[in-house]
């Protein structure tokens, strides 16, 4: 059977599937239990599985992640929710000092099969710390996987894969598209491989590498330039770490041009790493310098400014035209 779901509903169904299939899976976090999450991604879990497996935690991110470490070492599979990515900073010490290092520290004796979920990115006119896109910060930490879905189908398959993974996964959910569209997905559990990108559109003129909410904006930009005879190839990375380098290297070798699109600030972002990889592995195939369309090197602006900060289809389309004409 299949259901037509948005991303929030797909996340909820993934949690339902895994809690039904595996009694060691527990879900908790800020407003996760009684209210079903600030975006209602965990609605119905407490009613179905009880307060011992789906419950509210104190507003203390360090404690939420810290207790999950102990649970994971002792045989549970905690899936914890931090209400927004910008609220993850109080837990940063736990994440970088313990979550990411436990397998190495114990020489493989202990692993941490745990997932840290967080809505991330802008676009909902929220306040400070509610619109962060700092995926590069966490992707820089060895031992931590960073996954960002862009569709309901991917959200469910990647979240189930993350829950079943023996190592810790930071699962970032682009809240701007939580309810933007629906997709038919299987009702039963399925898995998408972590670390494998997806070719969203095939083309021959320029490779566009992106992820999360930006995928839809890149697709809109692609439609704008197709009327001018430009056919982009769009790659959705899905996973920032580990990164599927082969996917975009082979594409760039075909197209000779590359653009990276992400919402995060430009400097030291994942886009810089991707451009570096392209220069190292596909330099002789390039017809133009690889470029980036990103947010700006500023704190994410409060509600009135976000429309000037987040890359728009128009800005992406203009860059595509400039790169192809180079």
> How many alpha carbons fall within 13 Å on the CB side of residue 92?
13
140: annotated active-site residue: no
As a whole number of angstroms, the distance between CA 204 and CA 226 comes to 12
As a whole number of angstroms, the distance between CA 183 and CA 151 comes to 8
69 SS3 class = helix
Residue of 303, 316, 161 whose CA lies nearest to 242: 161
Bridge partner residues of 183 (DSSP): 5
As a whole number of angstroms, the distance between CA 213 and CA 123 comes to 9
As a whole number of angstroms, the distance between CA 298 and CA 308 comes to 12
Bridge partner residues of 95 (DSSP): none
As a whole number of angstroms, the distance between CA 123 and CA 227 comes to 28
* 174 CB neighbour count, 10 Å cutoff: 25
> Which one of 129, 130, 140, 308 is the catalytic residue?
130
Q: CA end-to-end span of the chain, whole Å?
A: 49
> How many alpha carbons fall within 13 Å on the CB side of residue 191?
10
Residue of 241, 244, 258 whose CA lies nearest to 293: 258
Q: SS3 for 144-166, per residue? A: CEEECCCCHHHHHHHHHHHHHCC
As a whole number of angstroms, the distance between CA 326 and CA 312 comes to 21
Catalytic (active-site) positions = 130
């Amino acid at each position: 059977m299949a259901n037509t779901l948005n991303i929030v509903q797909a996340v909820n169904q993934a949690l339902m599937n895994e809690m039904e299939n595996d009694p060691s899976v527990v879900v908790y976090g800020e407003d996760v239990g009684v209210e079903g999450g600030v975006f209602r991604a965990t609605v119905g879990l407490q009613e179905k599985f009880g307060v011992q497996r789906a419950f509210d935690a104190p507003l203390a991110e360090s404690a939420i992640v810290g207790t999950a470490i102990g649970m994971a070492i002792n045989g549970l599979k905690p899936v914890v929710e931090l209400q927004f990515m910008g609220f993850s900073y109080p837990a940063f010490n736990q994440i970088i000092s313990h979550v990411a290092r436990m397998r190495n520290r114990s020489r493989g004796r202990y692993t941490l099969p745990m997932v840290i979920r967080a809505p991330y990115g802008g676009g909902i006119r929220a306040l400070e710390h509610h619109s962060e896109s700092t995926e590069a910060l966490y992707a820089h930490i060895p031992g931590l996987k960073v996954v960002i879905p862009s569709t309901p189908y991917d959200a469910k398959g990647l979240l189930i894969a993350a829950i079943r993974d023996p190592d810790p996964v930071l699962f970032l959910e682009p809240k701007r598209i939580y309810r933007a569209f629906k997709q038919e997905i299987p009702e039963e559990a399925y898995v998408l491989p972590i670390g494998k990108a997806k070719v969203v559109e095939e083309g021959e003129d320029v490779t566009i590498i992106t992820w999360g909410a930006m995928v839809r904006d890149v697709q809109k930009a692609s439609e704008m330039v197709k009327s001018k005879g430009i056919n982009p190839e769009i790659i959705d990375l899905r996973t920032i770490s580990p990164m599927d380098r082969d996917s975009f290297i082979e594409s760039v070798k075909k197209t000779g041009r590359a653009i990276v699109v992400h919402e995060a600030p430009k400097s030291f972002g994942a886009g810089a790493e991707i451009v570096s990889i392209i220069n190292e592995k596909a330099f002789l195939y390039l017809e133009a310098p690889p470029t980036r369309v990103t947010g700006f090197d500023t704190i994410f602006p409060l509600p009135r400014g976000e429309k000037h900060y987040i890359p728009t289809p128009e800005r992406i389309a203009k860059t595509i035209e400039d790169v192809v004409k180079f």
